């Protein structure tokens, strides 16, 4: 240990480690990194009756705290980050919403600066290269086919921080764009699609590796036309996103996804818009207007579900208490799986010595009472 590094010792909690749950454990943080278990140290925080889990990793989030990544301003983007961090998300990818290509390029450039300084893990373009038949809360007037040249322009606008793009592979240029993204190291995600089973399987062969909010904004699973759901669930190369808020998915659909894909291929996301962490009311979502009522976000015109007001601590709590998932499986879906997909599993996503000290402290009811990111408390366990 460096003589100038700060040591934090957490004792007495149940700690979720890669190989299981350690009861009454000691977890030591030195500087920004996890130092491992050091028994006999005087505790800085005595956390008997609590859980310590890895910091949550959100692959797909648009906003929160009344702010949106689509604003294109650092001030609003940092407000989104701060809102979700209080709920345990220590790593997040900023998701945009369908807009004019020039506007999306400007948003990507602004967000890339925050990614370069470590506030974000990158940029996710959701639209405009999606199906008008499954556009959901995306403005249909702004949709376009995925011309690889235009896809490349958006990727380049993010200056090396583009992490994922959601597109409909059945559209003209779709498969070529999937190949180009995969070759460029950008995750090609299948979503907002009217694709068939066969066309989806072709997209996976071309390099698509994520299902954007599986089941939502795509044809339903059918016994004669299994559609994209079956193709994405059955292929071991695909990670499936799930929005576990009780609105987007029936518990049986979530159980099906875990049973078929397995815990190592499921990533919980929020798909949250600006109302996350706020109350009911009217909020913007890109160029569209959304009304939130009883915590459910819908377009004011047409009534389509418009993202969510979810935070990942709520997704975790629901997974364990309502869906009956083992804590270890819920932790994988919130941390390890998305961290691996983003290529940052060497730094975060699990509580192991040498990794960043990204962690969440939960009470017996699985409510957040502490959040640490890179060794610094965003929420202190003794704050209340």
**126 belongs to an annotated ligand binding site:** yes
**187 belongs to an annotated ligand binding site:** no
**305 belongs to an annotated ligand binding site:** yes
* Pairwise CA distance, residues 149 & 29, whole Å: 46
**Residue in 194, 271, 329, 358 annotated catalytic:** 271
**189 belongs to an annotated ligand binding site:** no
* Pairwise CA distance, residues 62 & 286, whole Å: 9
Whether cis (ω within 30° of 0) applies to the bond prior to 128 is yes
- What letter does residue 224 receive in the DSSP assignment? S
Q: Is 125 helix (H, G, I), strand (E, B) or coil?
A: strand
> Could you confirm whether 19 is annotated as catalytic?
no
Is the CB of residue 243 less than 8 Å from the CB of residue 216?
yes
Write the DSSP string, 165-186: EEE-TTSTTHHHHHHHHHHTT-
**192 belongs to an annotated ligand binding site:** yes
**35 belongs to an annotated ligand binding site:** no
**216 belongs to an annotated ligand binding site:** yes
- What letter does residue 348 receive in the DSSP assignment? S
**213 belongs to an annotated ligand binding site:** yes
Q: Is 37 helix (H, G, I), strand (E, B) or coil?
A: coil
Write the DSSP string, 275-319: TTTS-SEEEEETTEEEEEETTEEEETTT--B-SB---HHHHHHHH
List, by residue number, the catalytic residues.
271
Question: Which amino acids are annotated as binding site for Zn(2+), given as ranges?
Answer: 126, 192, 213
Question: Which amino acids are annotated as binding site for substrate, given as ranges?
Answer: 137, 216-217, 224, 248, 305-307
Question: Which amino acids are annotated as binding site, given as ranges?
Answer: 126, 137, 192, 213, 216-217, 224, 248, 305-307
């Amino acid at each position: 240990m460096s003589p100038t590094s700060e040591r934090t010792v957490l004792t007495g909690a149940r700690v979720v480690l890669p190989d299981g749950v350690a009861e009454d454990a000691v977890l030591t943080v030195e500087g920004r990194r996890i130092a491992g278990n050091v028994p006999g140290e005087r505790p800085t925080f005595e956390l008997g009756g609590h859980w310590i889990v890895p910091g949550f990793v959100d692959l797909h989030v648009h906003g929160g705290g009344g702010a949106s990544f689509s604003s294109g301003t650092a001030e609003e983007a940092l407000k989104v980050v701060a809102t979700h961090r209080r709920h345990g998300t220590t790593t997040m990818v900023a998701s945009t919403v369908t807009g004019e290509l020039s506007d999306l390029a400007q948003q990507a450039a602004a967000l890339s600066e925050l990614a370069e300084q470590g506030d974000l893990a990158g940029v996710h373009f959701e639209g405009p290269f999606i199906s008008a038949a499954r556009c959901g809360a995306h403005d249909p007037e702004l949709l376009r086919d995925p011309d690889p040249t235009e896809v490349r322009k958006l990727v380049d606008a993010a200056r090396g921080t583009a992490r994922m793009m959601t597109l409909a592979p059945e559209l003209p240029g779709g498969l070529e764009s999937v190949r180009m993204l995969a070759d460029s190291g950008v995750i090609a995600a299948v979503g907002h699609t009217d694709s068939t089973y066969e066309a989806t399987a072709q997209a996976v062969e071309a390099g698509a590796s994520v299902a954007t909010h599986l089941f939502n904004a795509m044809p339903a699973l059918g016994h004669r036309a299994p559609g994209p759901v079956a193709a994405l669930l059955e292929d071991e190369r695909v990670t499936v996103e799930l929005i576990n808020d009780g609105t987007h998915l029936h518990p049986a659909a979530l159980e099906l996804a875990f049973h078929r894909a397995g815990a190592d291929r499921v990533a919980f996301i929020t798909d949250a818009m600006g109302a996350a962490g706020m109350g009911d009311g009217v909020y913007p979502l890109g160029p569209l207007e959304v009304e939130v009522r009883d915590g459910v976000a819908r377009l004011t015109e047409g009534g389509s579900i418009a993202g969510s007001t979810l935070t990942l601590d709520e997704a975790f709590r629901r997974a364990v208490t309502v869906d009956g998932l083992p804590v270890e499986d819920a932790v994988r879906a919130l941390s390890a799986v998305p961290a691996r997909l983003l290529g940052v599993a060497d730094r975060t996503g699990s509580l192991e010595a040498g990794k960043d000290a990204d962690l969440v402290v939960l009470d017996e009811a699985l409510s957040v009472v502490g959040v640490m990111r890179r060794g610094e408390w965003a929420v202190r366990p003794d704050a209340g």
